[in-house]
Amino acid sequence: MSEHPIAFVDEAFIQRPNHPGGYLFAAVLVDRDELTVTVDAAVHAAGGHGDYHTTGLYQRGHIRPIEDMLDTIETYAGWTALVVQAPIGGSGQAARETARQAALSRLLQHLNTQKVRDVVLDTRASEREQLQTQLEGRKITRSDLPDIHTYRKLVRNHEISPRMRLLHVDDRKQPALWMADAAAWAFQRALVFDEPQWWSRIAAVSTVLDAGSGAELALQHNRAAPPIGERGPRNPSQSAQASLLQPQFYTLNGGTTNRSHGPGYLYTGLLQQIDAASTPAEDRQLTEQIAELAKGVAALTTAIQSISNLEPTATTAQPAHELTNDVEPDSDADHGREPTIG
């Protein structure tokens, strides 16, 4: 990868009934020297869908473009970084915006360590708002201002290089953003519906970070990506065998799953990692010490109980005070005579 790759970024969020929620940013890093060939590959993967959006394609049953776009990431992109802010910390637009800016802040800091200088983020402004912004002679739409404020704050605090640029671009004008859209959707699908097979296509070239602590996370599961190629039903591939280990929620035909709207095991496992990462190291050390002390106390208690339950011996020892006060009787006294004096 070149010294200063370009990051193409898109978001996804989870706000559902009975679900703690979350905000995701996916950044697909592309080598500058490989940008043209990568964009061409993304256009080819879209399969003629010029207005590529993974969610819409999935809902309409167009699965092949999604798989091809994820495979394009795995083949052409240098790396994928995904930042998770979970739980979302409330309901409504305000909570979602707070979660977004927390995730964006962590992502920009991470991209700064990767020597990224150009961050291309899908705009939230509609076509009408973009046009109105141009007519007013402004460079930044009102919808994108919160992102710019977060970026500028990081620059002022010297948390990212002032050479980094944050550019908001309409994804209809930049096909490289379609890869970021697919990556964010794949991870969201895993957290909402316990369907990791989409994310499995790019997991080997991806890093997942907690927005709060910056700790690296893992999507822990025993399912691989769907098998590639034709295979007989009596000779499944290793990935197919792995997918049989747990009840299936895979929907490769664009349907919907039977999962409830609550968090599944993948989200729960990720949240446990986030909770552990957010606990200060001193607290974790104290917790471990208390656990070890509790084990020692339990062992000592067991030993004391074992000693207390021992059977008494056949002969009982004479009390110590009787041994010390005992006097050898004189033989004369035994016969009623006066003891001899002198």
What single string gives the DSSP state of each residue in 287-308? HHHHHHHHHHHHHHHHHHHHHH
For residue 206, being part of any structural domain is answered with yes
The two structure tokens encoding residue 327: 């006097």
Q: What is the mean pLDDT of residues 86-113?
A: 93
Residue 52 has pLDDT above 90, yes or no: yes
* % of the chain at pLDDT higher than 90: 61
Please give the Cα distance from 262 to 22 (Å, whole number).
13
- What pLDDT sits at residue 303? 77
Neighbours of 4 (CB within 10 A): 14
Question: Residue 269: its pLDDT value, please?
Answer: 93
pTM summary value: 0.73
Strands 79-85 and 22-30: antiparallel
What is the pLDDT confidence band of residue 312, given thresholds at 50, 70 and 90? Answer: low
| pLDDT of the residue at 320 | 44
pLDDT-based confidence at residue 288 (cuts at 50, 70, 90) = low
Supply the pLDDT for residue 16: 85
C-alpha span between 96 and 324 (Å, rounded):
84
Burial class (CB in 10 A: 0-12, 13-18, 19+), 147: buried
pLDDT of residue 327: 42
**331 pLDDT band (50/70/90 cuts)?**
very low
47-56 average pLDDT score:
91
Position 259 confidence tier, pLDDT thresholds 50, 70, 90:
low
* Residue 134, domain member (yes or no): yes
Task: Tell me, yes or no, whether 274 lies in a domain.
Answer: yes
- Structural domain harbouring 228: 6-281
Confidence of residue 263 (pLDDT cuts 50, 70, 90): confident
For the chain, the domain total comes to 1
Is 136 a member of any domain? yes
* Cβ contacts of 152 within 8 Å, gap of 6 or more: none
In a domain, residue 328? The reply is no
CATH code for position 196? 3.30.420.10
222: confidence class by pLDDT, cuts 50, 70, 90: low
Burial of 200 (0-12, 13-18, 19+ CB in 10 A): buried
Q: What is the mean pLDDT of residues 289-310?
A: 76
Taken in order 82, 88, 91, 95, is the CA torsion positive or negative?
A: negative
Kindly state the percentage of the chain with pLDDT values over 70.
74
260 pLDDT higher than 60: no
Domain-embedded: residue 200: yes
The reply to whether 70 falls in a domain is: yes
Q: pLDDT tier at 245 (50, 70, 90 boundaries)?
A: very low
